[in-house]
Structure 1
Amino acid sequence: MDTRTAWSVPGYTEVRELGSGGSGRVVLAVHAATGTAVAVKYLSDRLREDPAFVGEFRAEARLLGGLESPYVVRLYEYVEAPGGAAIVMELVDGISLRALLRQSGQADAEAALVVLKGSLLGLAAAHRAGVVHRDYKPENVLVAADGSSKLVDFGIAANRGSTPGVAGTPAYMAPEQWQGRPASPAADVYAATATFFECLTGRKPYDGENFAELAVQHIEAPVPETEAPEPVRPLIRRGLAKAPEQRPENAEAFVAELEDVALAAYGPDWEERGQRKLAALAALLPLLFPSAGGPAAGTTAAATTTLGGGAGWAPGRRGWLAAGIALVLGAVLVMTTDAIGASPGGASALSAFATTSAAPPGSASPSPGPSVPASPSAVPSASASPSPSPSASASPSASASASPTPTSSPTATLTGKPTPTPTPTPTPTPTPPVKVTAVDVALRTSVYRGEASITVSATGTGPVTVTVQWFLGGSQGAYTVPDGSESFTVQAGSTVTTTRQHTFTRDRGCYGGVRVTTKPAAGNKSAADSQYLARCVEAPR
C-alpha cells in the first residue's frame, strides 16, 4: 500500500524513499538550511487516524529524550501537525547483524563479543534512563563498515517496572516477557544473550515450532550453553538464566562480566581483533550499506510466525501450563502484528530502520550530526521472528557535524537535545556570547578501560571546545603519567552530557584518571576524577 502523503516536515527537502510498510514510510531528506542529510519516519495516514498509535509514535520520542550516547541513534525533531506526524533522525552507514548472519552463518567468538558489547552499551544508556528496550534481536543491531556496532529501534520500549503487556520477538523473549510481567533490564540482557548465542552458533537458543513450544522452552528448557565455545559459556549461562534475579541486573553489569571473560579468554587485544573481523564480514556486503544508494526497501506486515524444527525436548507439567498461556499470548502477538504491520506490541516496521531519541517539550533545538545519504536493505526477519525489519540507519560518530535549525510544525514540535558533536559554523544571533558556567566529569573504570561522563553547562551562543586529558597514576587522584587526550565541540545555550571512552596503557599505574577543561574556561575551571583499574598489576619499581 502506498502510504505517501502530501504533507512533509517543513524545512526539509525529500530526496527519495528508503523504505515503507504498514506503519508508514522512511525517506531520505536534506535539511534545506545546511544540506545535512537525515532520515524522516512518517506515520501512515491510516494509523494517524487512531489516537492510540499517534500516542505511541509520540511516546517513542519522549521516552528516549534523555539518552545521549554514541551507541543509540539520535533524534533531531519530532513534528506533529494537522497534515501528519514524523520523526527526523540521523543516518548511519551500517547494515544489520541479521544480514551479516545470513551471509556468514555465524561469527568468530571475538567478533560476536564486539557486537554484543557495542549494542549492550546502547542498552546501558537506556537502562540508566529507566528505559527497557524489549525487542533486542539481530535485526536491531547495526554493524558499521569499521566493525563498530550499536543498538537501534526503541519502537516498543517501555519504562522500567511498567506492565505494558506482552511484546517482543518470540525467539528472544525472556521467560518473564512471555508471562506479561513488568519490564526490566534483565529481560534485555536475556534477549542480548540469545542474539549472542545465535552469532556464535548460527542458530537460536530455542527453536519451537509455534508460540506454545517457544514459550515452554524459554520458561523451562535447559540453557544450551554447551553449544557455544567453552570460554564464553559463563556469559551464556548467566544471560539466559530463567529467573531475572539470576542474570546480570542490567546491561552495564553484563558489559563488566563480558570484559572480564573476554580478557581472560582472548587477551588484551580481543576487541581490536574482533572489530577487524566484523569489518571484514561487513565488507562482503557492500551493496547493503545505506551509502550504496540502492532502491527503496519494502517492509512486510506478517500476521503469522513460521518457526524452525523441534529441539527434541519435552516440557514438564509447568511447560504444558505455559503452553496454554502461550497460545493466548501468541494470538495477542499475532493480532497486534497484523494491526500495525510491524513487530509485536506496537513497534513500527519503520522503527527498525532507525531508532529515535528525543527530549521532552521545551528543550533546545537539535543539531543533526554527520550523516550519509542512505537506502536501507530489506532484512526479512528470522524464522522465529513474527515480523521482518529493514536494516537500521543512523550515525554513532562523534565527528564534526552540520547543524540545521529545524522548522517548527504548524501544531507542535518536540525537539531533541543539542548533540555533543562539533558544529563548524554556528548561525550568528543577537544573543549574548558563549559563557561556560560549569564542567563536571565522572569516571567509571573496568579492565584497563575508562568511560567518562562529561557534563558542560553554557549560556549564550557559540561553540565550546572541550578537551579531555587521560592520565595514569599510582594512587587515587594522581595524574602523573599522561595517557592521551582528545577534543570535541558543543554548542552553548544548554547543559550537554556526553560519554567518552579510553583504553589505558598497561603497567604505567593502577589508577586511571581524566581531566576535562573548556575553552572558554568554565566557571569552576576544570573537572577531574580517577578510579582504580580492575585487574591492574602495577609495574615493579
Structure 2
Amino acid sequence: MDGWDIPGYTAVRELGAGAFGRVVLATRDADRRRVAVKSLLDHARRAEFGLEAQLLGAVRSRHVVRLLEYVENARAAAIVMELVPGRPLREVLAERGALRPEAALAVLAGALRGLADAHRAGIVHRDCKPDNVLLTERGQAKLLDFGIAVRAGTETASVGTPAYMPPEQWQAMPADPAGDLYAATAVFFECLTGERPYRSRAVMGLAAQHFQADIPAGEAPAPLRPLILRGLAKHAEDRPADAGAFLDELEFTARRAYGRSWERTGRADLAPRRLFPRFALAA
C-alpha cells in the first residue's frame, strides 16, 4: 500500500480516511493477528496524535475500541487498535433512518458505558457522534476516535462537531464529562427520530439553537422524552450527575416502557447479519 511504513505490520486494505489520518486493516507480522491501524497523514499533528494514543490507552473498557500499541518512527506514527467487526452507526442510520426505540436505547446504553469508563479514567471524549459509535455484530455499541479527547478540566479551544456540541463546548469552557452526556443524547435523539435535534445550516444559527431553542423532546416517543430533556439540558448542572447515573435513569425508563428484555430486543434489531458485510473503523 502506498506510503505504508509501519514496522511490524503488513497492510491489507484501507478501511477509511479522514483529514489527518487513515485506518487500514493490517496483520501483525509476529502472530498474523488482524488489527486496525490508524496512521497519521499530517505530521504537523504528531504531538496531538501521540496524546490521542495516550488517552485511549488509559481507558479500560469493553465499550471502547481498545489500543494495542502506539508505533512511532522518523517517517510514520500509528495507533494500533483491536479490529472489531461492525459498522459505524452513521452508516446504519443513513440506510435505515430512525431506529426502533429499544435499538436507540441500546445505542445510548453502550455509549454511556464507554463514556463512564473514560470519565473514570479522567478523560472527556468531546466528539460523541454517530461516526464515532461502532455497532458490533452482536448489536453492541462501542466508542472510538479519541482524536480531540482531553483530560477533564482542560481548557481547550471550541472544537468538535457542531450538531452534537453542548453549549459549554461552544464557549470553550474547561472540558467536563457533562458535555459528553449532551452529545450522547443528541446521538440518541437522532437514532429515535432520524434527525439531529438542531438543524440550522449556518454554524452561528446552529450555535444559537444549542443555546436558546426549545429542546425538541416532543419529536421522540413519549416514554423517552424525559431522557431527552435531561441529557440535552442547556446547563451542565441540570444534566444527570454522571454517565452512570444517566445509565440508571435509562434502564429504569426502558424497563418500564419496553419490558425487561428491552436491551436484548434492541441489540437483536441492530445485529442482523445483513448489516455487517465488512470491518469498518473511522479515521
Equivalent residue number for residue 60 of structure 1: 52
| Structure with a larger share of its residues in strand | 1
Calculate the TM-score normalised by the size of structure 2. 0.95
1:483-504 deviation digits (Å, cap 9, x = unpaired)? xxxxxxxxxxxxxxxxxxxxxx
- Structure 1 residue 138 and structure 2 residue 123: aligned? no
SS state at 2:103 partner: helix
Query: 8 Å contact 1:28–1:39 — kept in the other structure?
Result: yes
Contact 2:155 2:175 in 1 (8 A): yes
Match in the other structure for 2:19? 22
Match among 124, 149, 153 for residue 145 of structure 2: 153
Q: Which of 277, 281, 285 is the matching residue for 2:275?
A: 285
Deviations 1:38-78 (A, max 9, x none): 1222212xx22x2xx11100000112332111111111111
Shift of the alpha carbon at 1:220? 1.0
- Secondary structure of 1:264 counterpart: helix
- Shift in Å, 1:98: 1.0
Aligned to 2:105: 113
SS where residue 271 of structure 2 aligns?
A: helix
The amino acid of 1:236's aligned partner reads: I
The question of 1:251 aligning with 2:249 is answered: no
The question of whether the paired residues in 2 share the 8 Å contact of 1:24 and 1:43 is answered with yes
Structure of higher RCO (CA pairs closer than 8 Å, 6+ residues apart): 2
Q: Which residue of 1 aligns with 2:259?
A: 267
The Cα offsets for residues 93-136 of structure 1, whole Å up to 9 and x where unpaired, read as: 10111111111110111110001101111111101111111111
Residues 162 and 203, structure 2, Cα contact 8 Å, conserved in 1: yes
Give TM-score scaled by structure 1 length.
0.51
Counterpart position of 1:222:
214
After TM superposition, the structure 1 = structure 2 runs for residues 28-107 of structure 1, keeping only pairs within 5 Å, are: 28-44=25-41, 47-48=42-43, 50=44, 53-107=45-99
Residue equivalent to 1:164: 156
Letter matched to residue 5 of structure 1:
G
1:124 aligns with 2:143: no
Q: Distance in 1 between matches of 2:19 and 2:161?
A: 18
1:307-365 Cα deviation digits (max 9, x unpaired): xxxxxxxxxxxxxxxxxxxxxxxxxxxxxxxxxxxxxxxxxxxxxxxxxxxxxxxxxxx
Partner SS, residue 28 of structure 1:
strand
Q: How is 1:199-238 mapped onto 2 (pairs within 5 angstroms)?
A: 199-238=191-230
Matched-pair contact (CA < 8 Å) for 1:4–1:25:
no
Q: Mind listing any 5+ residue stretches in structure 2 that lack a counterpart?
A: none
Alignment map for 1:396-435 (pairs within 5 Å): none
| Residue type of the alignment partner of 1:211 | V
Residues 217 and 271 of structure 1: CA distance in aligned 2, closer, same or farther (over 3 Å): same
Shift of 1:152: 1.0
Contact 1:95-1:392 within 8 A present in 2 as well? no
**C-alpha contact (below 8 Å) 1:185/1:249 kept by paired residues:** no
Structure 1 residue 26: deviation in Å?
Answer: 2.3
How far has the Cα of 1:284 moved from its partner?
A: 4.0
CA separation in 1, counterparts of 2:66 and 2:269?
27
Q: 1:286 to 1:62 in 2, by over 3 A?
A: closer
Amino acid in the other structure paired with 1:229: P
The alpha-carbon deviation at position 30 of structure 1 amounts to: 1.2
User: As a proportion of its length, which structure holds more helix?
Assistant: 2
Structure 1 residues 239 and 9: CA distance shift in structure 2, 3 A = same
- Give the distance between the partners of 1:179 and 1:138, measured in 2 at CA: 23
* Alpha-carbon distance in structure 1 between the residues aligned to 2:271 and 2:220: 22
Give the 3 Å change call, closer, same or farther, for CA 24–172 of structure 1 in structure 2: closer
Show CA shifts across 1:464-517 (max 9, x none). xxxxxxxxxxxxxxxxxxxxxxxxxxxxxxxxxxxxxxxxxxxxxxxxxxxxxx
Q: Distance in 2 between matches of 1:63 and 1:140?
A: 16
Pairwise CA distance, 1:83: 2.1
Aligned partners of 1:27 and 1:40 also within 8 Å: yes
Alignment of 1:483-522 (within 5 A): none
Kindly state the Cα deviation for residue 278 of structure 1 after the two structures are TM-superposed.
1.4
Matches within 5 A, 1:435-474: none
Q: Which amino acid aligns with 1:62?
A: Q
**Residue type at the aligned position of 1:14:** A
- CA deviation vs aligned residue, 1:236-285 (integer Å, no higher than 9, x gap): 010010000000122122111111111111121111111111123xx443
Which residue identity does 2:135 align to in structure 1?
Answer: V
Question: 1:286: how far off?
Answer: 4.0
**What letter corresponds to residue 225 of structure 2 in structure 1?**
R
User: What letter corresponds to residue 26 of structure 1 in structure 2?
Assistant: V
| Aligned pair partner of 1:11 in 8, 11, 33 | 8
User: Number of residue pairs matched?
Assistant: 283
Q: Which moved more, 1:11-20 or 1:201-210?
A: 11-20
Q: Is the 8 A contact 1:110 1:270 kept in 2?
A: yes
Between the aligned partners of 1:159 and 1:24, the Cα distance in structure 2 is 22
Spell out the pairing of 1:368-407 with structure 2 (5 A cutoff).
Answer: 376=280, 391-392=281-282
Letter in 2 for 1:136: C
Q: Secondary structure at the match of 2:12?
A: strand
State the alpha-carbon separation in 2 of the partners of residues 22 and 245 from structure 1.
35
1: CA distance between counterparts of 2:65 and 2:183? 20
